[in-house]
């Protein structure tokens, strides 16, 4: 899987030790120019500078992905930097929080889970799809195992519902953009071995590695997966 000469946008690449860091490094190692996006540009810059120091191609951008105007401005900056040609969008931005039993839940917790997981995905895809059409590129969303049938979702209904909406969004884009050559797929991973999860859940929990997740993302964005769209890939 080679990505030389290709431009890849990755959102949610901020803190060290998270999955976005590993996915960005995997793309950059294979020749891609990666645009790393985080709400805090300083966080994205730290990850980007590490790649540049290794001789790889990277740029950092900051944006509030729940703000449509900010996302449109972000896409315009990437358009200017790439000549309007983006080959892949990997939307890692989002977050998890337990909302507790529905009867006792805070409506604000629901609003936040949908804002950071669904609104960010929809606004980012909306802004970048025109840049992906020119390359017949790929979008990869991050759902969750919690969004799959039969998952244990008690106490996390806001998160699970939001991630289910992300999977539906991927399906809609796959159908809408098929004739334009843009494909959209989603991952549904179990817990990923990130620094944050290790701190919260301990080292003995069952994890999928960041590198295993990166391998699936790169395959979905590669030429080998040009016929794959509208799929939910379970990673465990």
Q: Out of 27, 96, 141, 159, pick the active-site residue.
A: 159
Q: Helix, strand, coil: what percent of the chain each, to 5?
A: 50, 15, 35
Q: What is the DSSP string of 127-139?
A: HHHHHHHTTT-EE
Q: What is the DSSP string of 36-97?
A: EEESSHHHHHHHHHHHHHTT-EEEEEE--TT-HHHHHHHHHHHHHHHTS---EEEE------
User: Please, are residues 99 and 113 in contact by the beta-carbon 8 Å criterion?
Assistant: yes
Q: Are β-strands 232-235 and 183-189 bridged in parallel, bridged antiparallel, or unpaired?
A: parallel
Told to judge if 159 belongs to the known catalytic residues of this protein, a careful annotator would answer yes
- Which residues are within 8 A (CB) of 41 and not within 5 positions of it... i.e. 6 or more apart? 60, 61, 62
Helix, strand or coil for residue 225?
helix
User: Please, are residues 139 and 171 in contact by the beta-carbon 8 Å criterion?
Assistant: no
Displacement of CA 205 from its chain's centroid (Å): 23
Q: How far apart are CA 213 and CA 103, in angstroms?
A: 35
- Which residues are within 8 A (CB) of 69 and not within 5 positions of it... i.e. 6 or more apart? none
| Active-site residue set | 159
């Amino acid at each position: 899987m080679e990505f030389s000469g290709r431009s890849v946008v990755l959102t949610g690449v901020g803190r060290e030790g998270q999955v976005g860091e590993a996915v960005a490094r995997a793309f950059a190692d294979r020749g891609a120019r990666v645009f790393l996006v985080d709400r805090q540009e300083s966080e994205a810059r730290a990850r980007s500078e590490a790649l540049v120091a290794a001789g790889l191609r990277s740029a950092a951008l900051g944006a509030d992905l729940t703000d449509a105007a900010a996302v449109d401005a972000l896409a315009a900056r990437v358009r200017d930097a790439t000549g309007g040609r983006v080959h892949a969008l990997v939307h890692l931005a989002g977050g998890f929080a337990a909302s507790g039993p529905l009867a006792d839940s805070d409506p604000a917790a629901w609003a936040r889970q949908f804002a950071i997981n669904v609104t960010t995905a929809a606004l980012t895809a909306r802004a970048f799809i025109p840049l992906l059409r020119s390359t017949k590129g790929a979008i990869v969303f991050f759902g969750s195992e919690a969004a799959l049938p039969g998952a244990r979702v008690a106490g996390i209904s806001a998160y699970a519902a939001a991630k289910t909406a992300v999977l539906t969004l991927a399906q809609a884009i796959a159908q809408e953009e098929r004739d334009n050559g843009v494909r959209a797929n989603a991952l549904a991973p179990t817990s990923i071995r990130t620094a944050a999860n290790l701190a919260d859940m301990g080292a003995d929990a069952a994890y999928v590695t960041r590198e295993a997740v990166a391998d699936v993302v790169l395959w979905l964005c590669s030429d080998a997966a040009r016929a794959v769209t509208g799929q939910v890939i379970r990673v465990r």
